Amino acid sequence: MNLAGQQYCIFNEKLDKVTYENRISALRLTHDNYPAILARVQKFHHSHAVRATHNVNCDNSIGDYLVDCKNVLGFEVFGCENVKYVGSSKMAKDSMDMNGFGYYSDHMLESLGSGNSSQICFTACCEFCSEIYYSAWCLHPNHLFGCVGLKHAENAILNTAMSHQEYNELAPKIIDHMRSTGEWGEFFHPSISPFGYNETIGADDQPLDRTTVEKYGWRWYDIPKKERTGEYVVPLDTAEYNPEKVSTEIAAKNIDTLLAGVIQCEKTGEPFRILKEELRFYIKHDLPIPRKHPQARYNERITFMNRKQLRDATCAECHASIQTTYDPAVRRVLCEQCYRKLVY
């Protein structure tokens, strides 16, 4: 960790090429040794300093996981310029309050999962659009207001097509009305979201209980328990599915049994299956067959990322003011200059 220009290192110990390759080939990940390896990696990481944010090649930008950005305030942003309050977006300019996608867009406001567009406001999942408002799931349209699921449409309000002149007369009247009711300028209300809050990535960053979600007037989705549709199987060691390590007949029999069976998540009890292509990947890389449901694995993975929340702190070395997504109480957080001195 915190090395630059190094190779053949294990836990920062520099090794010769042969020793490195021998140790790596001897390290076989299994369900038995995984907890100890993970604990050792985490302990090792926590014993080293971290840079305040994971931003690369950014100018005048605030946030985390920013790459090639200029004048940006956001998280997980790549190649954007002059954007504010933005998350998980790429190559957008002159926009704010947006999440997801982006891609060669400009002048987007309060848009979700939209991209390749110009001047779109309060939209969800729209692409290749210009001048559209309060619309969702539309492709290649111009001048839409309150439309859903249209392709190559022009001058439409509530999915009703009209002349450009009629559109220009009616749309401002609707906007005036929405201004009078306080609706104009806000994204679709969460109460009409097709998804419950607990299903969304919002819940990854800001977990809320059902009572709080419903107090806000947002939806909660009772995720139905999946019924088991086959016999439970317990995955064997990956070698048992590899015809190069056991006989072709045994490998084929074990593969058939696993793919036909159902695995019970050892953490949540949820049933799940292994797909053929997935199993091929585990065999190729000699990785242990999962025993946890995909959602349980996802929930564990996101704990390795910092939350999208900046906190004020001071550099552990020079005491300069910094903003970071790490908790300075548990990690030694450095400003960019001190981190560079340490690594380079």
Q: Which is nearer to Zn ion, 275 or 329 (CB)?
A: 329
Interface with Zn ion, residue 263, by CB under 5 A: no
Residue 315: CB minimum distance to Zn ion, A: 3
Interface with Zn ion, residue 335, by CB under 5 A: yes
Q: Which is nearer to Zn ion, 48 or 177 (CB)?
A: 48
Interface with Zn ion, residue 39, by CB under 5 A: no
Using CB under 5 A as the binding criterion, the count of chain residues that bind Zn ion stands at 6
Interface residue with Zn ion among 315, 325, 331, 333 (CB under 5 A) is 315
Site string for Zn ion, 270-309 (x = CB under 5 A): ----------------------------------------
Q: Per CB under 5 A, which of residues 127..146 are in contact with Zn ion?
A: none
Site string for Zn ion, 226-255 (x = CB under 5 A): ------------------------------
Residue 64: CB minimum distance to Zn ion, A: 17
Interface with Zn ion, residue 52, by CB under 5 A: no
Question: CA-CA distance, 313 to 327, in Å (whole number)?
Answer: 9
Interface with Zn ion, residue 318, by CB under 5 A: yes
Q: C-alpha dihedral over 114, 116, 117, 121, to 10 degrees?
A: 20
E-strand ranges in the chain read 9-10, 13-14, 50-51, 62-67, 70-78, 81-115, 118-124, 130-136, 142-145, 154-157, 160-161, 263-264, 271-272, 311-314, 321-324, 333-334
- Lookup: tokens for 57: 């090649």
Entry field: residues in the chain: 344
Interface residue with Zn ion among 106, 204, 240, 317 (CB under 5 A) is 317
Scanning 156-164, 180-188, 219-227, 320-328 for contacts with Zn ion by CB under 5 A, the matching segment is: 320-328
* Strands 130-136 and 142-145, bridge-based pairing: parallel
* Strands 62-67 and 70-78, bridge-based pairing: parallel
Which element (helix H / strand E) includes 182? none
Number of other residues whose CB lies within 10 A of the CB of residue 255: 19
Distance of CA 172 to the CA centre of its chain: 37
Q: Which residues bind Zn ion (CB under 5 A)?
A: 315, 317-318, 320, 335, 338
